[in-house]
Amino acid sequence: MPQVIFLPHETICPEGAVVEANPGESICDVALRNDIEIEHACEKSCACTTCHVIVREGYDSLEEADELEDDLLDKAWGLEPESRLSCQALVAEQDLVVEIPKYTINQVSERH
C-alpha cells in the first residue's frame, strides 16, 4: 500500500504526516481521511485551486493532468512544474511526498 508523506505546513499539518493511501484515491481524500484539513472550496469538483499541492516526490507515477486541471492550475498561487490539484491527482502504486502551499486563492472567501 503506498504512503503519502505530507510535509509540515504551518497551520494545516504542523508536524507533517506519513499516511497510508489506497491506489486510485485522490491526494485530497487521503489528506481529509487522515484529519489533514486541506481546503477544497469546490467540494472536489475541479472548479477551483484551493486544494493545490506540489508533489515533491512520486510526481511521475501520477496520471497526467487533463486540460481543465491544467487551466485551473495556471491560476494557482505558487505554481510549480510538479503542481497538481489534490482532488484530481490519484495515488498510484508509488509513495508520494506532498507539499501543501502556504497560500491558496479562494475566490469564494475573498469576496467578503
User: What is the CATH code for 3-105?
Assistant: 3.10.20.30
C-alpha span between 61 and 32 (Å, rounded): 21
pLDDT in tens, 43-57: 999 999 999 999 999
Q: Which of 52, 49, 57 is nearest to 27 (CA)?
A: 52
pLDDT in tens, 65-83: 999 999 999 999 899 999 9
Residue 110: pLDDT band (50, 70, 90) is very low
Q: What is the pLDDT of residue 106?
A: 62
> Cell digits for 79?
505554481
Q: What is the pTM of this model?
A: 0.92
